[in-house]
Structure 1
Amino acid sequence: MRIANFKALDERSYWTDAKDLECVMVIPEAPDVKSFCFKTADDSWFRYMPGQFITIELPIGDRARLMRTYTLSSSPSRPLSISITVKAQPDSVGSRWLLDNLKVGDRIKAYGPGGLFSFMMYPAERYLFIAAGSGVTPMMSMTRWLFDNGEHSDIALVNCARRPSELLFANELRRMAQRVPDIKLSFVVEEDDPYAAWAGYRGRMNQLMLELMAPDYMEREIFCCGPEPFMKTVRDVLNLAGFDMAHYHEESFHAPIRTEDQVPTHDDVVPNEAAGAGIRFAMSDVTARCRETDTILDVAKAQGLNIPSACRFGVCGTCKVRKLSGEAHMVHNGGISDREIAAGFILACCSTPIGQLEIDI
């Protein structure tokens, strides 16, 4: 039927603001993840910036129609259709309904596009895309656009997931990277899949990984998308390195940014080199003045105190100490568990005091 109604390309108009969309393809991507491809009933063109989102109406039960936003994973370089890639989040209503109910031939109403999360808003020669889970969808849109248009922008793309089978678009990204030297891929997983070998990075995203995957990250325009704890980890790494955060951009799963005044301000702890601090080593009855940027390990050594240490990068966990009171800012690389952190332990080599701090040494 679509072939019979096919319009010549020069007869097509552009989709503007609101339109009924017909689902023309449903593609399984990973466990509990599907891509939904849409066309308009009148074969309109789609025009948007890569990385933007649309808002769709979902007819869920007898309630009022539910409005949800989804980033487009498709590229405007292929304007005859658009796609969203949906992963069911815990307690998600809209995403769960899409995965369980939407099928080829169904129609939904969509509004958009919108959003500022696009490299077109921040032109640069080199980009770093960092994503976790379905946060890779805007990165996919931007990478597809650059690949399709033969733009020789230097892209370092870091794709993180819990397991290898949950790395979205991994095969397509590999195919693009095999054909052009401009795309440099890195994959990070937290754990292996049963019966599958994994030769990439393991663990949580950290500073050491970033140094290996994109050694020149300080000179790149950085785009980040994923769960908030993941993005906070990335911000901590960049703040610690002294990265100019004017060149860092992020998109939230829950609050897509539509206008400049919606860009969030984060209350991340950023140690200030000019700010004074102090550490009391309780068992040794030693108190030392220092700066917020001085590590506990360095301050202890300057006072003649011995805290066992090895890597000095927050990897090995040798320098673990217990905090008795005060605030410490820690950016570690996997050498301490969440349970230990909850119990008050910190790593002396990668922790700095914020104000007055007391530790059990």
Structure 2
Amino acid sequence: MPEPWRTGVFTRIEQETHNTRRFWIQIPEVEEFVFKPGQFVTLDLPIHEQKNKRWRSYSIASPPDGNTIELVIVLLEGGAGTHYLFNHVQVGTEVLLRGPQGVFTLPPVIDRDLFFISTGTGIAPFRSMLHYIKKHQIPHQQIYCIFGTRTQKDILYYEEMKQLEREIPGLHYIPTLSREQWEGRMGYVHAIYEELAADRKPAHFYLCGWRAMINEARQRIAQMGYERQYIHFELFD
């Protein structure tokens, strides 16, 4: 049975970078919106007469906690959904949503290293997972959170991720920039995970972001000798 459609209310909106915003949605009809870190919700936005052309799915960026969820959304040029969210939604606006959905979730037992590889707002499910691991002190191996974007002004949750790196044993936060020189890593995400997993250590690879990155990463990780069952992905069209 699919999850029912519920009415949510936007309770807070904050600009995160020049083209991304954080949206908090409360679902008043439930005390607890139960989901697994890594899952997503589908919003039914008033942008088209046909239902399936109104639906937009976004990974939940917050860990399970009460009946409010956070989404982080990038404004897409020519995107009807994000145009509505950025130009018409305000605190108090209601929205129909369905969820949670998806199987992009942590393994029941984290007995291998985790590689969280993302571009853009693809960091959202990993932020949810990391806060969940920290809060519940989930036993884990090494965690490599590799985030690729163009410039420093495009980095999402930078200070928060640095703080999580200090608080979660074995977490390595590695932002990398493709279009700007800075004190951190430069280039694309692929070189980083290939370097870190060069010894073919047992690992789960979680990929979230744009299709081109995911397709290339899946191919490269398989060529490194990792089986398909250890490569998990959630892509943006």
TM-score, with normalisation over the residues of structure 2? 0.89
* Residues 247-262 of structure 1: pairs in structure 2 closer than 5 A: 247-254=230-237
Task: Give 1:32's aligned residue.
Answer: 19
Distance 1:53 1:245 in 2: 22
Task: Give 1:190's aligned residue.
Answer: 178
Distance 1:68 1:215 in 2: 37
In the alignment, is residue 71 of structure 1 matched against residue 59 of structure 2?
A: yes
Q: Which letter does structure 2 place at the counterpart of 1:28? A: Q
* Residues 296-307 of structure 1: pairs in structure 2 closer than 5 A: none
Identity percentage over the alignment?
Answer: 21
1:27–1:34 CA contact under 8 A, matched in 2: yes
* Cα deviation, residue 216, structure 1: 5.5
In the alignment, is residue 52 of structure 1 matched against residue 39 of structure 2?
A: yes
* Cα deviation, residue 17, structure 1: 2.6
* Residues 283-302 of structure 1: pairs in structure 2 closer than 5 A: none
Distance 1:164 1:213 in 2: 23
2:28–2:67 CA contact under 8 A, matched in 1: no
Distance 2:149 2:136 in 1: 28
Task: Give 1:199's aligned residue.
Answer: 183
* Cα deviation, residue 148, structure 1: 1.6
* Cα deviation, residue 91, structure 1: 3.0
Match of 1:96 among 83, 93, 103: 83
* Residues 308-323 of structure 1: pairs in structure 2 closer than 5 A: none
Asked which structure has the greater RCO (Cα within 8 Å, sep 6+), the reply is 2
Residues 73-118 of structure 1: CA distance to partner in whole angstroms, max 9, x if unpaired?
A: 1111x22311111112343211221122211111111111111111
* Residues 27-176 of structure 1: pairs in structure 2 closer than 5 A: 27-42=14-29, 44-60=31-47, 63-64=49-50, 66-76=54-64, 78-120=65-107, 123-153=110-140, 154-176=142-164
Distance 2:99 2:41 in 1: 5
* Cα deviation, residue 222, structure 1: 0.9
Distance 2:103 2:163 in 1: 28
2:150–2:177 CA contact under 8 A, matched in 1: yes
Q: How many residues align?
A: 232
SS of residue paired to 1:49? coil
2:112–2:202 CA contact under 8 A, matched in 1: no
1:186–1:213 CA contact under 8 A, matched in 2: no
Task: Give 1:229's aligned residue.
Answer: 212
1:73–1:138 CA contact under 8 A, matched in 2: yes
Change (3 A) 1:121 1:99: farther
Distance 1:215 1:229 in 2: 22
1:19–1:109 CA contact under 8 A, matched in 2: yes
1:73–1:137 CA contact under 8 A, matched in 2: yes
* Cα deviation, residue 23, structure 1: 0.7
RMSD: 2.1
Residues 37-62 of structure 1: CA distance to partner in whole angstroms, max 9, x if unpaired?
A: 011234521100111111111123x7
Match of 1:179 among 167, 171, 184: 167
Residues 119-175 of structure 1: CA distance to partner in whole angstroms, max 9, x if unpaired?
A: 146754421100011111111111111112122423111011111211211211111
* Residues 239-278 of structure 1: pairs in structure 2 closer than 5 A: 239-254=222-237
- Structure 2 stretches lacking a partner, 5+ long: none
- Structure 1 stretches lacking a partner, 5+ long: 1-15, 255-361
* Cα deviation, residue 64, structure 1: 4.7
Change (3 A) 1:71 1:164: same
Change (3 A) 1:179 1:47: same
1:128–1:217 CA contact under 8 A, matched in 2: no
Q: Which letter does structure 2 place at the counterpart of 1:205? A: V
Residues 278-300 of structure 1: CA distance to partner in whole angstroms, max 9, x if unpaired?
A: xxxxxxxxxxxxxxxxxxxxxxx
2:30–2:67 CA contact under 8 A, matched in 1: yes
TM-score, with normalisation over the residues of structure 1? 0.60
